[in-house]
Chain A
Amino acid sequence: MYFLRFYLFLCSAPCVYLLKEDGDEDLCFFLEGVKPSLSVELSNKGFHREVVTTVELGSETPGDVRALLVYTWPRGVYVDPYQLAFLSDLRGWQMLFNTTIDLEEPAHRTSAFLTYVYPSHNGPTPGPLTVTIPIHGRYHKPAFDGKSFTPVHIELPELLLWTKKCTPIQRLEPHTLLDAPCNASNTSICSWIKIQLSHKNSTLSLHLPVGDGPTVTLVCTGTLLVTVICCAVLCHSILKHQIT
């Protein structure tokens, strides 16, 4: 009995292996040919910026490949989900947040957060994908070291790919597998392939103005002095011209 089972297993294993071998060549072969490139730029100045990400997947990429960009944002900036919802029709991509965003808190009272960006693919062969994300700087603690600006470093996003036909289990190096939501509605989890990219720079930097800590005594004294004087002058005027 056991021998029979074992014999059947031995017979079927090579068949399965052979099937997979043939399938693998079609299914995940594209990974060896695909040489995606990712470039990120920061535009505008001040507290309201735009992060422009351009992804080029390469001409050999199959048409049904879907991309996912995973951004890890530092606590010094935020993305406004309401602004995005308002503009989503025009932008052609969807974003999923891993947490609720407080739009008003200063940087030291918040924490880093993740966003998943799902660009919509147009046509059978995906061309370069461009995603422009508006970000806003948070207020930071005043500086006591004489510096007028504080740096905020933004890591480059991770590029994840997925295609229906490909369910790789092996031969992925240097890429790795990662679980992430399948789409922006976050109804299911898919197994994505995290693409290993080589970057010249691994972070973007922006500098935000901060308050000057050492002037706190001058500012407090000046503010209270002016407000008290204005209060006294107004009181005097009110009492002088009262309605009798």
Chain B
Amino acid sequence: MERLLSVLTEKRVLFSVSFVVRLALVLYGDYQDRNMVVKYTDIDYHVFTDAARFITEGQSPYNRSTYRYTPLLAWLLTPNIYLSVVFGKLLFIVCDVLSGLLIYKLLCLRGVSCQIARYVSSLWLLNPLPMGVSSRGNAESILSALVLGTLLCMEVRRLAWAAVLYGLSVHMKIYPVTYALPIALSLRSPHTKTTTEHWSWRTAFGFIGSFLNSKLILFASVAGGVFFTLTALFYYMYGWVFLHETYLYHLTRRDIRHNFSPYFYMLYLTADSRWSQALGLAAFLPQLILLVVSSWTFHRDLAFTCFLHTAIFVSFNKVCTSQYFLWYLSLLPLVIPHLTLSVKQGVMLLLLWFAGQALWLAPAYFLEFEGHNTFFLIWLAGLFFLVINSFILVQIIAHYKSRKSLERQKAE
């Protein structure tokens, strides 16, 4: 068994096998779509393809109802129309394997031995969840590759490239914008402790001044430049509907249909009441507070902060679907080698996470497909899932040893 594991995780074998398995799934998916009633391909893939078709006809991709992404994605998938409809899936599985490669490189740079780095990367590369998601035609792997690429460039101090990839990732989906705070905190000048402990104007100015250094200004201007250039270009091409569907819809989204979010039932019951706005704001505050606190305390370890940020953002969001889990699962392999949890504890936490989802999926199935009124149970399951996610995050935080503290321990 161990011999099989070491052969499988040998570098060339690992990446080849993970690509071939994904390719096989794409081909199988094509067969299932043609021959069976239940389709393999995700509905989102049809949305992307329809939007790409509109572009090839010279129209706006937003003519396709429920296309709520950047036009860049539809442009990237125009070969779906000109070459083959399977092109997009091939692009997604390549980005998926690339994400695995970036995880491996990042782990090596963060002081993990190459053998352990390969084992941990195989948690992503041989994991059926990202395999299934990318072969079904979801575009999440493009974003995970961009975010991992940003972290890798930050790690090797190639700030301009990191900024380009970061600007591109924020353009594609809004949630990486939360990484701006820890990135800014990690790039600011080291804070020199003043003699006095009391707050004064000098310490305040010193704090603000620490943000004004060449590295941070370079990062901000390149990332901002990439983001605003793309926004301006697509606004010029497609107008207000681009801004609304790509950004504003997601910021103001009030999908009252059942989803994993703990706020789902509260927002459904109050959708048309005068408390709706206030409750929406109340729902936003825990997210905001946690993002600021975690940035401030952990910004020196950027990969860990980004993982925490994303996990907190998804768990406390007003809408949460299973696609969002991939956003932080792609960063989890960077955290795992630094956890002092035993394998048994790790597996228990994983099973707990799955149990939380199963407890939600059961009443949701009965609501949607059997027509029972299980709203109250779904609400309770959503709250329970938040409790489980919080517990898991607390365990990860409590058992995390960053590279610096490990080195300090060794020195002692």
Which A residues have a C-beta under 8 Å from some C-beta of B?
A: 45-48, 82, 86, 100-104, 106, 108, 139, 141-142, 148-149, 207-213, 215-216, 219-220, 222-224, 226-228, 230-231, 233-235, 237-243
A139 touches B257 (CB 8 A): yes
A41 to chain B, nearest CB (A): 16
The complex places the Cα of A222 from the Cα of B372 at a distance, in Å, of 23
Residues of chain A contacted by B271 (CB below 8 angstroms): 106
Question: Which of A102, A220, A238, A242 is within 8 Å of B270, CB to CB?
Answer: A220
Is the C-beta of B283 less than 8 angstroms from some C-beta in chain A? Answer: yes
Residues of chain A contacted by B210 (CB below 8 angstroms): none
B265 touches A219 (CB 8 A): yes
B66 touches A104 (CB 8 A): yes
Is the C-beta of B383 less than 8 angstroms from some C-beta in chain A? Answer: yes
Question: Which of A45, A226, A231, A240 is within 8 Å of B371, CB to CB?
Answer: A45
In the complex, number of A-B residue pairs with CB atoms less than 8 Å apart: 138
Is the C-beta of B161 less than 8 angstroms from some C-beta in chain A? Answer: no
The complex places the Cα of A46 from the Cα of B372 at a distance, in Å, of 7
Task: List 8 tightest A-B contacts by C-beta distance, closest first.
Answer: A231-B286, A242-B297, A209-B373, A46-B371, A230-B390, A148-B373, A46-B369, A223-B266
A160 to chain B, nearest CB (A): 28
B65 touches A101 (CB 8 A): yes
The complex places the Cα of A49 from the Cα of B3 at a distance, in Å, of 52
B369 touches A228 (CB 8 A): no
Among B19-27, B96-104, B143-151, B287-295, the one that faces the other chain is B287-295
Main secondary structure of the interface of B (DSSP, over half): helix
Residues of chain A contacted by B43 (CB below 8 angstroms): 82
Is the C-beta of B94 less than 8 angstroms from some C-beta in chain A? Answer: no
| Given A219-B269, A234-B312: A45 in contact with B294 (beta carbons within 8 A) | no
The interface on chain B, measured as residues whose beta carbon lies within 8 A of the other chain's beta carbons, has a size of 58
The complex places the Cα of A139 from the Cα of B286 at a distance, in Å, of 28
| Given A227-B286, A230-B390, A243-B300: A45 in contact with B293 (beta carbons within 8 A) | no
The complex places the Cα of A22 from the Cα of B38 at a distance, in Å, of 55
Interface residues of B in 218-249 (CB under 8 A from A): none
B298 touches A242 (CB 8 A): yes
24 A-B pairs with C-beta separation under 8 A: A47-B367, A47-B368, A106-B271, A108-B272, A142-B269, A209-B367, A216-B266, A219-B379, A223-B263, A226-B386, A227-B262, A227-B263, A227-B386, A230-B316, A230-B386, A234-B312, A234-B394, A237-B397, A238-B297, A238-B308, A241-B397, A241-B400, A243-B298, A243-B301
The complex places the Cα of A207 from the Cα of B270 at a distance, in Å, of 22
A230 to chain B, nearest CB (A): 4
Which B residues have a C-beta under 8 Å from some C-beta of A?
A: 43, 46-47, 50, 65-66, 255-257, 262-263, 265-266, 268-273, 275, 279, 282-283, 286, 289-290, 293-294, 297-298, 300-301, 308, 312, 316, 367-376, 379, 383, 386-387, 390, 393-394, 397-398, 400, 402, 404-405
Residues of chain B contacted by A142 (CB below 8 angstroms): 268-269
B270 touches A233 (CB 8 A): no
| Given A46-B370, A104-B255, A219-B379: A226 in contact with B387 (beta carbons within 8 A) | yes
A211 touches B398 (CB 8 A): no
A223 touches B298 (CB 8 A): no
Residues of chain B contacted by A108 (CB below 8 angstroms): 272
Instruction: Report the nearest B residue to A223, measured CB to CB.
Output: B266
Instruction: Report the nearest B residue to A230, measured CB to CB.
Output: B390
A235 touches B65 (CB 8 A): no
B375 touches A212 (CB 8 A): yes
Residues of chain A contacted by B262 (CB below 8 angstroms): 223, 226-227
Residues of chain A contacted by B283 (CB below 8 angstroms): 227
| Given A220-B266, A243-B297: A233 in contact with B272 (beta carbons within 8 A) | no
Residues of chain B contacted by A148 (CB below 8 angstroms): 373
Question: Which of A86, A219, A224, A233 is within 8 Å of B390, CB to CB?
Answer: A233
Residues of chain A contacted by B375 (CB below 8 angstroms): 209, 211-212
A138 to chain B, nearest CB (A): 9
B269 touches A238 (CB 8 A): no
A104 touches B257 (CB 8 A): yes
A239 touches B293 (CB 8 A): yes
Instruction: Report the nearest A residue to B273, measured CB to CB.
Output: A216
| Given A82-B50, A102-B65, A212-B375: A46 in contact with B383 (beta carbons within 8 A) | no
B371 touches A238 (CB 8 A): no
Residues of chain B contacted by A233 (CB below 8 angstroms): 390, 394
A230 touches B257 (CB 8 A): no
The complex places the Cα of A229 from the Cα of B197 at a distance, in Å, of 32
B265 touches A46 (CB 8 A): no
Residues of chain A contacted by B372 (CB below 8 angstroms): 209
The complex places the Cα of A46 from the Cα of B258 at a distance, in Å, of 14
Question: Which of B272, B376, B390 is within 8 Å of A212, CB to CB?
Answer: B376
A141 touches B300 (CB 8 A): no
Residues of chain A contacted by B263 (CB below 8 angstroms): 223, 227
Residues of chain B contacted by A211 (CB below 8 angstroms): 265, 268-269, 375
Given contacts A230-B390, A240-B398, 20 further A-B contacts (CB under 8 A): A45-B369, A46-B367, A46-B370, A48-B369, A82-B47, A104-B255, A108-B272, A139-B256, A211-B265, A216-B266, A216-B270, A222-B379, A223-B266, A224-B266, A227-B316, A234-B290, A238-B308, A241-B398, A241-B400, A242-B298
